Amino acid sequence: MAEHHLKNVSDAGIATDPDFNVKFLNPVTENLTGCLRVDVLGNHLFKLLNPVSDLLESLKKEMTSETLPSNLTFEGGIKTRDNLQILIQGSITPVINEKDEFEGFLLVFNPR
């Protein structure tokens, strides 16, 4: 379900499993990062986003199945596939299915 919504938004969007492995990314994310979906599916989120600051790493510590805040905003630097550094800002939200089970995370972000 999240994939359908992510495909149709103008922001960069990534869906992960509970361990932050990429399940889906939209074309905006591909264009922003320079990474193709087929190359990153199943890989850890930080292989795709390649954080250059501790801020994104701190997200991983905060967003665990024990804490699961409903929405957390972030800002941090990433390196693109072409080794360009860009600043992004966005939000990360836990994905809960219709059976009230935690399925992963949804990240939506833009360059700053």
Exposed (0-12), middle (13-18) or buried (19+): which is 25, by Cβ within 10 Å? buried
| Cα gap 42→58, rounded to integer Å | 21
pTM: 0.83
Judged against a pLDDT cut of 90, whether residue 9 lies above it is answered with: no
- Please report, to the nearest 10 degrees, the dihedral formed by the alpha carbons of residues 51, 19, 103, 95 taken in order: -20
Judged against a pLDDT cut of 70, whether residue 37 lies above it is answered with: yes
At 64-77, the pLDDT tens digits run 546 656 777 888 88
Predicted confidence at residue 81, as pLDDT, reads 87
Q: Note the Cα 45 to chain centre separation in Å.
A: 6
- Architecture in CATH of 2-111: 2-Layer Sandwich (3.30)
